[in-house]
Structure 1
Amino acid sequence: MRFQTLKYAYFPGCVAQGACRELYQSTAALTQALGIELIELKKASCCGSGTFKEDSQLLEDTVNARNIALAEELNLPLLTHCSTCQGVIGHVDERLKDFQQTDTAYIEQINGLLRKENCSPYRGSTEVKHLLWALVTDYGLEALQARVTRKLAGLKCAAFYGCYLLRGQKSIPYDNPFQPESMENVFRAVGATPVYYRGRTQCCGWPISSYATEQSFKMAGSHIQEAIDAGADCIVTPCPLCHLNLDSRQPEVEKVIGRKLGLPVLHLPQLVSLALGISPQQLGLSKHIVSTKPVLELIGR
């Protein structure tokens, strides 16, 4: 099989470069193994994770118009491995493309602000795409399956899409936002068994964790418990913020719900990389709060 050469302008986001560096590492390992070229947008800024618009919609639009313009300078799609970044930047891109048809004065206002900072203007000439969509639609599941060297047979994976990836934008052409199958299809391609449960398309609780911590942890706990009850060996998420709430805070979640959980949480690139034979050390799997050893034992690593 001939593998397609893919190239993207890479927006890694904040969390994966800071609090969860292993997620940044695993995305690099996966794309290198697949021959996907990432041109990292070193000058990009935080998307705001949905908070900028609470103060000013213009602020959110301008900041992310600049992020998109950085990819446009390279004539490449903007790739993110964060569901939240995808939802925020993708929604801004949708809004601004609509305004190019209905309110050019607003576009000019944004571009005027960008020019004042010596930034390139937003043109609306590219797309914003999550790594999941890139794997499924650009690289292709058949090609991905052909690269598998260590099938994850016997591993039962519960996808946790979260909310931003599926419903942050008005429409997504790659999956059904209410009954998605993209992650489950990736699981099948690498030999794992998908596990379905009610909470897989719901919010992890992160957005309210700073001011309604107990409610946030109850939400996370409910999803983790549902995945356990459905027989999952791990949760797999395409979002670093979901990873924080489900993995890093799982011990605190246990205290709030009064129940032991101990369910490993993997970032999507970590799971796929394991099937490609990449070492757990290279993927930073020892850095997770909830031990990933049960997963590694199941797949003989």
Structure 2
Amino acid sequence: MPLLRYAYYPGCVAQGACRELYLSTTALADALDIELVELKQATCCGSGTFKEESQLLEDTVNARNIALAETLNLPLLTHCSTCQGVIGHVDERLKRAQVSNPAYVKRIDGWLQREGCAPYRGSTEVKHILWALVGDYGLDRLSARVTRALAGLKCAAFYGCYLLRAQDNISYDDPFHPESLENVFRATGATPIYYRGRIQCCGWPLASYAQEESFQLAGTHIQEAIAAGADCMVTPCPLCHLNLDSRQPEIAAVVGRELGLPVLHLPQLVCLALGIPPSQLGLDRHVVSTRSTLNKLGF
């Protein structure tokens, strides 16, 4: 029997532009004896844009995603901070509406019924993989599973926006003074690096209409992390990863200096500490080479 089971919601980016996140999450789950039951019928959460057209649209689409997990009697697990923020916030809103506005929830269930979907019950929890590691698996247990401690590696956390502040209630961390990522670093043997921008926006939402401002914002964070002595940046958000890693050469051109700071997905970092070979984690898919990080760890 697996130690933990979740209804796995991989989201869009991890199945496309950040395929390495999908690979490393699967490797992490296998190594920690966690069963992921993938929700293959799930749809995009809307990344916060559905509500610009219609709040009902965002709520209905994500009520369906949550209902898929509820039919399995499992918590919904995602490794995407944006998905966590959007789906988790919808879940909070609909749970309140079951008491304050049941007619609204009934309307949503009517749309779900038309599509042959189960109704939203509000019976489960939406959980990011970081919260699962910290709250369900436990840092002591994680530390005990480390076979290749990341000693000497200086890691700069980049939380981003959605994970910390999109929901009204987060029982796993302080939204303005978080420590969960840093505590995971410590459990793997790595050294946390603190800098001002670690809980700020990466600039991704600005990129479609104010690209230079987006790159300036991201560049500020990367430069602060480098100045603080970071060997790499680690993020729990694939959209932050896209902006900070895949666009880093363009960011460097805007800020007028070389950067070259590797950006790792959270599951990749933990997997390295569990002794999983880099070749299984898609570390060669990054735009900014991860070779300096791997060299420091003796790979």
Identify the TM-score tier after normalising by the shorter chain. over 0.9
Aligned to 1:180: 178
The amino acid across from 1:250 in the alignment is Q
Aligned to 1:98: 96
Unaligned ranges ≥5, structure 2: none
**Match status 1:195 vs 2:199:** no
Report the Cα offset of residue 4 of structure 1: 7.4
What CA deviation, in whole Å up to 9, does each residue of 1:148-177 have, x standing for no partner? 000000000000000000001011000000
What CA deviation, in whole Å up to 9, does each residue of 1:98-125 have, x standing for no partner? 0001000000010001101111110000
Aligned to 2:31: 33
Q: 1:42 aligns with which of 34, 37, 40?
A: 40
Percent identity among equivalent residues? 76
Structure 1 segment 59-208 matched on structure 2, within 5 A? 59-208=57-206
Over aligned residues, Cα RMSD in angstroms?
0.9
Q: Distance in 2 between matches of 1:4 and 1:154?
A: 32
Structure 1 outlier segments of 4+, above 4 Å: none
What CA deviation, in whole Å up to 9, does each residue of 1:4-63 have, x standing for no partner? 710000000000100110111000001110000000000000001101111111110000
The 3-state SS of whatever aligns with 1:120 is coil
Contact 1:4/1:139 (CA < 8 Å) preserved in 2? Answer: no
Contact 2:245/2:287 (CA < 8 Å) preserved in 1? Answer: yes
| TM-score normalized by the length of structure 2 | 0.99
Aligned to 2:217: 219
Aligned to 2:281: 283
Q: Distance in 2 between matches of 1:258 and 1:13?
A: 34
Contact 2:8/2:39 (CA < 8 Å) preserved in 1? Answer: yes
Unaligned ranges ≥5, structure 1: none
Q: Distance in 2 between matches of 1:267 and 1:63?
A: 27
The amino acid across from 2:50 in the alignment is F
Q: Distance in 2 between matches of 1:31 and 1:212?
A: 38
The amino acid across from 2:241 in the alignment is H
Between the two proteins, the alignment pairs up a number of residues equal to: 299
Aligned to 1:251: 249
Aligned to 1:14: 12
Q: Distance in 2 between matches of 1:136 and 1:187?
A: 11
